[in-house]
Amino acid sequence: MASLVEELLVDLKTENDTYQELVELSDVKREAIIHGKVDELEGITAKEEEISNRLKSLETKRTNILKDMAVVLGHDGELMTVTNVIEQLGTQPKEQQALTEARDRLVETASMLQFANQQNSILLQQALEMVEFDLTLFKSLKQAPETANYNKSAYNTGDLLGGGSFDTSQ
C-alpha cells in the first residue's frame, strides 16, 4: 500500500506541475490577447493542446492507481477518490498529511487556472466585440445616405450623397 501511496503522490505532484504550466501559459496568452498577437495565440493553443494530452494521461494513471488502492483496501468495484484514500489512511498520519497537501495544492492550482481562463474568455469576447465594431464602422464609412431623387417613373434613383466632404462656399 505504501508504494501505491508514493506512486499517487508522485502522480499528483506531476499533475500539479503540469497544471502550473497551463497557468503560466495562460498569463502569456492574456498578454497575446491584449496586444492582438494572433500568431502567438496559435502557438499557445498548440502548447495547451500538448499539455492537455499529458494531463489526460496523468489522469488515467491516477485513476488506475486509485483502482489498485481500492482493491488493496477491500473496496473492489467502488469508485475511489483521493479524498476517500485520505480518509482510509487514518492509521498512517504521515501519508495522510502528504496526500492532503498534494490534493490541496492541486485544487488550488486548478482554481487559479479556472480564474485565468475566465479572464481570458472575457478578454477574447471583448476583442471580438471590438473587431465587430470596427467592421461596422468601416462599412458605414463607405456608405452614404441615399438622396430623395426620383426618375420619370416616380421610382427612387438610389443616388448617394457626396463623399462626406463639407462645402464651405455655400
pLDDT tens, 8-35?
Answer: 999 999 999 999 999 999 999 999 988 8
The position carrying cell 452614404 is: 144
pLDDT at residue 167 greater than cutoff 60: no
Which 3 state secondary structure label does DSSP give 146?
strand
pLDDT band at 114 (very low <50, low <70, confident <90, very high): very high
Query: Looking at this protein, which amino acid is placed at residue 44?
Result: I
Sort 51 into a burial class: Cβ within 10 Å, 0-12 / 13-18 / 19+: middle
Determine, yes or no, domain membership for 103.
yes
Boundaries of domain holding 33 = 2-142
Determine, yes or no, domain membership for 154.
no
Determine, yes or no, domain membership for 92.
yes
Instruction: Identify the residue with better confidence: 47 or 75.
Output: 47
Rounded CA-CA distance 60/66 in Å is: 10
Instruction: Identify the residue with better confidence: 67 or 91.
Output: 67
- CATH number reported for the structural domain that contains residue 86 in this entry: 1.20.58
Determine, yes or no, domain membership for 148.
no
What is the number of domains present in the chain? Answer: 1
Q: How many CB atoms lie within 10 A of CB 26?
A: 19
What is the pLDDT averaged over residues 48-52?
Answer: 95
What is the pLDDT averaged over residues 143-165?
Answer: 62
Rounded CA-CA distance 57/71 in Å is: 21
Determine, yes or no, domain membership for 170.
no
Residue 113 · residue 123 · CB < 8 Å: no
Determine, yes or no, domain membership for 90.
yes
At residue 153's C-alpha, the angle toward residues 148 and 154, to 5°, is 30
**Predicted TM-score (pTM) of this structure:** 0.73
Determine, yes or no, domain membership for 153.
no
Determine, yes or no, domain membership for 152.
no
118: left (phi over 0), alpha (psi -120 to 50) or beta: alpha
pLDDT at residue 54 greater than cutoff 70: yes
Rounded CA-CA distance 143/146 in Å is: 9
Which 3 state secondary structure label does DSSP give 168?
coil
Q: What is the pLDDT of residue 101?
A: 94
pLDDT at residue 158 greater than cutoff 80: no
Which 3 state secondary structure label does DSSP give 160?
strand
Instruction: Identify the residue with better confidence: 74 or 110.
Output: 110
Residue 106 · residue 15 · CB < 8 Å: yes
